[in-house]
Structure 1
Amino acid sequence: MSLSVQKDDMDYVRPIGEIMEEMFLARADRSDMERVLRETHAEANAQRLTLMPEPTICETALKAFLDRQLFRTSQRGAA
């Protein structure tokens, strides 16, 4: 089982649980894998989100700029 996902020679020092999880997720559909990871980390992510400060003016401006760029590239493909 470990050889099916082994990436390098140092892989043998990883816990078998990680290797098994990686093997099963590699064989699962990507959407299933993402759903499992969201469910697994939902509680920790919710706690982190409550601790995050409000975005700064600079962060808000950068996000608006990136959103505009993404919109432009999506419209270019639609035309």
Structure 2
Amino acid sequence: MKKVGKKYWEVETPETIEFGNNFMRCYDKAGKLQFGIKLNGNFIVKFVIDRKELFSSEEAPGYLRQMVSDWEEMIEEQHNDD
């Protein structure tokens, strides 16, 4: 039987940001960005972006960067309208 090494979340302490009932957690060394929900004090991972896979695409990094920038501008406009 092949011995499996420890998972990245077992050996690296992430930086975690909570917003609403959601969270975003970054494992910098492993190159993983997790998104999920916080339920009863537990973090439930719903999606993971892998740095290596993201940057293997010519379009994905720029698209993600532009989308976040666009969303940020939308929020700023909403605040200015209030």
Q: Quickly name the TM-score band, shorter chain normalised.
A: 0.3 to 0.5
Greater fraction of residues in strand = 2
* TM-score (ref. length: structure 1): 0.35
Greater fraction of residues in helix = 1
* TM-score (ref. length: structure 2): 0.34
Q: Computing the radius of gyration over CA atoms, which structure comes out larger, 1 or 2?
A: 1
